[in-house]
Structure 1
């Protein structure tokens, strides 16, 4: 196997990138908390909306990324190049459409999501301005996904470092009126966000031009291969529904929290920021193993692909469990960095023990779910997501959190149950090897028995 597709080579740049994104989110939250806890609640709620809309272009980006890795494993570089070009064009169009909608209809969207009157002015500022730059988010997502799936995970990492530095500096200036910049408060967060994304999108586009053996030209963006794009959608649309289930369940949970009160909403936003430190390394490993398995699967190395999932799961479980334990021990002072409201801190502290159970379930679900996606078994992950997230994550959260009066504790219990149900079902599916062997053709069984051990 090409050394650049080893788990270590793929995962550590992704981890650094996710770490920086998490640090950016933490710094953002700390800076925004200096404006008000209401501003934090708006940012947390609005970001769930953005995540939901992101699935419209991530459907194409993720499906294209898997196929790019598979085609490169098959030594079909021109097909991989064509798939990548079409994905960038399609995602850019979807991103532009979303930018227009968010900029023009922030208030009506707030009404649909039951945003309180107290939060509405801040909501309109944040959603209309940052949402207006959604096309930049779409470009960063698809360009980064395609580049990573060529085996180049370092390039997006370096760009992420630069983007984060720019964003933090501009955030500091625009929020507080420092460094000779105007004091714009929450508006400053949106301005710094869009400017840093513009920088990242431009550099990623430059890397994309040289990502394949043949340089990509402007005229190449007119290319359209219907059969290849159909393959992208065949893999991508179940992934899109899968992602939609998750983000819409999170959006529903945030709506439930808004019914509970602004303090509960702020507490969940702060905890979500802290939790991200627990699973970011697990996420990096899960994303890396998806790229690795897609490449191995395309090359016909079935035994290596099968074992790679378990190796990634074992490594990931060790890391996320250790991080969750550290958060449990030091969570209270860390929450104190965000807010001095004792009631909000107490709510967050009450969730630290449950987080010890939540993070291993997330890792199980991410590692095995991504492994199934890598070999094209995306419909299975879609089906279990529809069932578990709609019934357990959303329905039971409403019942326990609001109807039964368990509040945040009840909602967290449902989140834990959802992760383990999906993770265990994915594990059973992977152990069956049905789609793994079926998708690789008639010679798969022999290659499964004869292939050598995987590289770390």
Structure 2
């Protein structure tokens, strides 16, 4: 039997929400690292090529976040206000919208892959591998769109464990597929990077089928699919995009700035490009603590805002921030201490290990600054303050991160060290401004759902 709304609300504590999200994100990261680690045993150049292709895929995934992020915030606020019918309507509209959007972007990646990679300044020896990977994984991008949307619906209802178990299953399938298709044991073909792409797309396809079954069992009673066929859902789309476009805009700006920085790194050479891929794969395990806490906090703050409990929402964000700050700093110190053995898992190239070790030491300064953004910005979005983080994000990512990357990395010749210095400056500058914004409490007047009166969404 599906838990009632009251049962679901009882589960909305930070720990109950965050630990499954933590494991889910860990498994997502493990999937990417499994690709990198297993491919590194095959060819370092293939790792660099797949890394660049995945940089493009990161931008595409953020595009899907336009709808998925709006879904998370609106459903949380509606459920907090006990407006289950509106929450269900938002859910079905978001599924349909992201499916259409995903199909369009999948077609674009498949058809225009050569042109897209052409602007990345990729070394010639990496182009064929990167294009093959982008066409296979990018061609199935619509599957990722559905995974993100269905996952947002399930987690907003409090069922974070379900998303965790599905991600675990996808990881197991992905690792098995990697082994069989990269190295070609027995009757299987040795496909290298092509095998990674096939395994990634295949495991995600199976994952979305299972996710659909779980969605049906958990919240089907609150998903009025017939609503989509009555009339064009203009009000719901306006609501989703009113939140989703500004919210995802901050992520899009970040990923686009990272594409530009990747172009800078590509001009430095294959060693620097490969080092960046390995180091950032390792760093993902450091920041996942703050990411999980930020997502759990966003769900709770959204529910509290829907209930009109602004003081509790304020305190929840601040408590989560200091928890995340302490845990992320500790994790960065631990990884920096064991930097050489960890990098040695991926490669035996001494140049990559030494350079990557320096970057992991700089990460001790970087990650605490990133924590502010991962937790406070999520809370601002959940409270309805979606535009300010975008404005400041664009200013900082391009005015600070990209500018310093080019100046320090290329003009002053600091290479990847200069790039990491730019990351540190960006995260701390933006994070401290976001903290000041939260403490200013302007967000208290920005909620999208009012509990005390009938629903009125600005601009709908």
TM-score by length of structure 2 reads 0.93
- Going from structure 1 to structure 2, the CA distance change for 1:213 and 1:242 (only over 3 Å counts) comes to same
Question: Contact conserved, 1:392 with 1:417, CA < 8 A, in 2?
Answer: yes
**Matching residue within 53, 68, 71 for 1:64:** 71
Moved more, 213-222 or 70-79: 213-222
Query: Which residue does the alignment assign to 1:303?
Result: 311
**Matching residue within 157, 178, 198 for 2:205:** 198
Query: Which residue does the alignment assign to 2:390?
Result: 382
Alignment of 1:93 with 2:100, yes or no, is: yes
**What runs of 5+ residues in structure 1 fail to find an aligned partner?**
445-456
* In 2, Cα distance between equivalents of 1:54 and 1:303: 34
Give per-residue Cα distances to partners, 1:86-121, cap 9 Å, x unaligned: 111111111111111111222111212222211111
* In 2, Cα distance between equivalents of 1:171 and 1:352: 27
**Matching residue within 162, 172, 176 for 2:169:** 162
Alignment of 1:242 with 2:218, yes or no, is: no
Q: CA-atom RMSD, angstroms?
A: 1.8
Give per-residue Cα distances to partners, 1:113-140, cap 9 Å, x unaligned: 2222111111121111111111111111
Moved more, 210-219 or 427-436: 210-219
CA displacement at 1:443 relative to structure 2: 10
**Matching residue within 150, 154, 170 for 1:147:** 154
CA displacement at 1:181 relative to structure 2: 2.1
Give per-residue Cα distances to partners, 1:169-196, cap 9 Å, x unaligned: 0110010112642211111111111110
Give per-residue Cα distances to partners, 1:127-178, cap 9 Å, x unaligned: 1111111111111111111211111111110100111001100110010112
Alignment of 1:181 with 2:188, yes or no, is: yes
**What runs of 5+ residues in structure 2 fail to find an aligned partner?**
1-5, 453-460
- Going from structure 1 to structure 2, the CA distance change for 1:342 and 1:156 (only over 3 Å counts) comes to same
* In 2, Cα distance between equivalents of 1:421 and 1:180: 54
Query: Which residue does the alignment assign to 1:451?
Result: none
Query: Which residue does the alignment assign to 2:282?
Result: 274
* In 1, Cα distance between equivalents of 2:98 and 2:54: 19
Query: Which residue does the alignment assign to 2:438?
Result: 430
CA displacement at 1:321 relative to structure 2: 1.0
Question: Contact conserved, 1:401 with 1:409, CA < 8 A, in 2?
Answer: yes
* In 1, Cα distance between equivalents of 2:450 and 2:61: 38
**Matching residue within 23, 35, 38 for 1:31:** 38
TM-score by length of structure 1 reads 0.94
CA displacement at 1:34 relative to structure 2: 1.7
Query: Which residue does the alignment assign to 1:315?
Result: 323
Query: Which residue does the alignment assign to 2:60?
Result: 53
**Matching residue within 351, 357, 366 for 1:358:** 366
Give per-residue Cα distances to partners, 1:392-424, cap 9 Å, x unaligned: 111221111111211111110110111111111
* In 2, Cα distance between equivalents of 1:384 and 1:179: 54
SS at match of 2:149: helix
**Matching residue within 344, 355, 367 for 1:347:** 355
* In 1, Cα distance between equivalents of 2:365 and 2:67: 33
CA displacement at 1:45 relative to structure 2: 1.1
Question: Contact conserved, 1:21 with 1:160, CA < 8 A, in 2?
Answer: yes
Query: Which residue does the alignment assign to 1:122?
Result: 129
Alignment of 1:228 with 2:236, yes or no, is: yes
* In 1, Cα distance between equivalents of 2:438 and 2:451: 19
CA displacement at 1:353 relative to structure 2: 1.6
Question: Contact conserved, 1:286 with 1:312, CA < 8 A, in 2?
Answer: yes
Question: Contact conserved, 1:105 with 1:128, CA < 8 A, in 2?
Answer: no
SS at match of 2:124: coil
